[in-house]
Chain A
């Protein structure tokens, strides 16, 4: 299998606290990779470093064959690396239609009709984003990441704040789109139902280091993961 995304020996510290400590991760093409761990494990920092939101202090990042270390977020986006955010990150006063148009002008309209349809945004197009519900805003955030059919999608807690029903629906949508478009996904999520229902590979972070990696069934039974994070064997 070819690695779409590779982070080699990534480190990042905040003051004296090492949020990432020599982390290496390789995400293979077509994979839905889960990234889990307790609060403060370094999951969001890793996503931020990989997407260019934060700079790594050491280490290198590759998107396919190309090194993207030091590239700006917009340069990474044009190379096919997209992301969504832990907190809804949209354009509040602008209509759903206009913000998707603005994104499509930069990235192309390929698959946009499918995204609008799959994420049920069709009826919301003429409403300012600040006037739609939180769940709709989460889906819009995801839609902005999906514009232009990225090859790699980094999702930072896409189900945060959603009901169980909404989370599972979002998981189904993601799984469907990802397989149809052959998109590779790295997803941070605290909802284990979502993680174990869509991921085919999971990486566990703990205190800025990789604690375990493997298939979901192996992670569920991994003694270190159970001790540090899951608490008991996951469902």
Chain B
């Protein structure tokens, strides 16, 4: 039997530019990491370093929302629940000395992932508005627990989180210094995006994309569709929880606002403004909106109206988001240069 018969879909696949995507991906990641490591040396202002660090935490949260949209075709109004759960689990387990800081960190990432996976097994079957409302209900349930259960973490007052001296052998001071935390958060974001890019190209990524495109047809080519969707929920919650843990480490404080639906809504807006169909779109949207909010806040006390107006304009004029616009321009330039589809 010939190789072609064994895998007739293998073999030459278009232009050489397209075949070199692993190289391009690795190069992009290396450049991005280098930029992150250089940033604290190039930016003198501590305020700007701190703002950038907070923006990157938002970028990670928005990436988790974008993953749900891109791979599952689902809108979530409850992603802040996993962001907050990450922070709360880490803080409560550590402060109450239930677990070592390292174990608390692991639990803070694994717990929300497992909860989202199990929830995904149920809510993945429900499409459209009902799904969005379910995520909102689940998210608000976690918020209410954090808000009303004072014995857990001081209810609506929130709770300070004194960090241990070291975490995984690293001086904890690094997590609260803007210059080092910027590098840590940025590096994690780059690694996450790299991992998600590889996943999107993997058989699992292709399957979830196929399920998103046409769930019924996916079943008729032999796939159960609930489990892959639930795995995406789990991965997405893991990313949100990571953002929550990073924020807790940086702020040294948790409050129920971390779980509130308005944060979920903001993360969704960030993902949509950036363009969830492109892997890095939600992160770009979070970056742009974070600084738009900051600038608008400096300019007027009515800054939410300014931000809202901008979001409406972007949604109407750029339905694929900023990343969709940039990717489209890149494709056109690539076609002109004879590179084929990037």
Q: Which residues of A contact B (CB under 8 A)?
A: 51, 53, 72-74, 77-78, 82-83, 85, 89-94, 97-107, 109, 112-113, 116, 125-126, 144-145, 147-148
In the bound assembly, the distance between CA atoms of A94 and B214 in angstroms comes to 10
What 19 new A-B contacts, CB under 8 Å, besides A51-B220, A53-B216, A90-B214?
A53-B220, A72-B224, A74-B220, A83-B220, A85-B217, A89-B217, A94-B206, A98-B206, A101-B206, A102-B203, A103-B221, A106-B222, A106-B223, A109-B7, A112-B9, A125-B13, A126-B13, A144-B221, A148-B222
The interface residues of chain A lying within 8 Å CB-to-CB of B207 are: 102, 105
B219 in contact (CB, < 8 A): yes
Cβ 8 A contact of B224, one of A74, A109, A125:
A74
The interface residues of chain A lying within 8 Å CB-to-CB of B4 are: 113
| Smallest beta-carbon distance B241→chain A, Å | 30
| Smallest beta-carbon distance B231→chain A, Å | 16
A97 touches B9 (CB 8 A): yes
Secondary structure at chain A's binding surface: helix, strand, loop or mixed?
helix
B195 in contact (CB, < 8 A): no
Cβ 8 A contact of A100, one of B9, B14, B220, B341:
B9
The interface residues of chain A lying within 8 Å CB-to-CB of B206 are: 94, 98, 101-102
Mask: chain B, 310-342; 1 = CB below 8 Å from A; 0 = not: 000000000000000000000000000000010
The interface residues of chain A lying within 8 Å CB-to-CB of B213 are: 91-94
Query: Can you list 21 A-B pairs, Cβ within 8 angstroms, ordered by A?
Result: A53-B216, A72-B224, A74-B219, A74-B222, A77-B219, A89-B216, A89-B217, A92-B213, A93-B213, A94-B206, A97-B13, A102-B206, A105-B203, A105-B207, A112-B8, A112-B9, A113-B5, A113-B8, A126-B14, A126-B341, A144-B217
In the bound assembly, the distance between CA atoms of A72 and B218 in angstroms comes to 12
The interface residues of chain B lying within 8 Å CB-to-CB of A73 are: 219-220
In the bound assembly, the distance between CA atoms of A90 and B4 in angstroms comes to 24
Cβ 8 A contact of B209, one of A53, A94, A97, A126:
A94
Secondary structure at chain B's binding surface: helix, strand, loop or mixed?
helix
Known: A92-B214, A94-B210. A109 touches B6 (CB 8 A): yes
B221 touches A102 (CB 8 A): yes
A99 touches B13 (CB 8 A): no
B214 touches A72 (CB 8 A): no
B223 touches A74 (CB 8 A): yes
The interface residues of chain B lying within 8 Å CB-to-CB of A97 are: 9, 13
In the bound assembly, the distance between CA atoms of A116 and B9 in angstroms comes to 9
Closest to A82 in B: B220
B222 touches A107 (CB 8 A): yes
Closest to A108 in B: B222
In the bound assembly, the distance between CA atoms of A102 and B221 in angstroms comes to 8
B221 touches A147 (CB 8 A): yes
In the bound assembly, the distance between CA atoms of A157 and B63 in angstroms comes to 43
Which 4 A/B pairs are nearest by Cβ-Cβ distance?
A106-B222, A113-B8, A103-B221, A91-B213
Closest to B208 in A: A102
| Smallest beta-carbon distance A210→chain B, Å | 26
| Smallest beta-carbon distance A134→chain B, Å | 16
Closest to A130 in B: B213
Closest to A115 in B: B8
B221 touches A106 (CB 8 A): yes
| Smallest beta-carbon distance A194→chain B, Å | 22
In the bound assembly, the distance between CA atoms of A214 and B287 in angstroms comes to 69
| Smallest beta-carbon distance A217→chain B, Å | 34
Closest to B6 in A: A109
In the bound assembly, the distance between CA atoms of A204 and B223 in angstroms comes to 33
Known: A92-B213, A102-B206. A77 touches B9 (CB 8 A): no
Cβ 8 A contact of A91, one of B217, B219, B224, B341:
B217
In the bound assembly, the distance between CA atoms of A130 and B2 in angstroms comes to 31
The interface residues of chain B lying within 8 Å CB-to-CB of A104 are: 9
Cβ 8 A contact of B217, one of A90, A101, A107:
A90
B220 touches A107 (CB 8 A): no
Closest to A109 in B: B7
Within 8 A of A (CB), among B1-59: 4-9, 13-14
Q: Which of A83, A89, A99, A145 has the most CB of B within 10 A?
A: A99
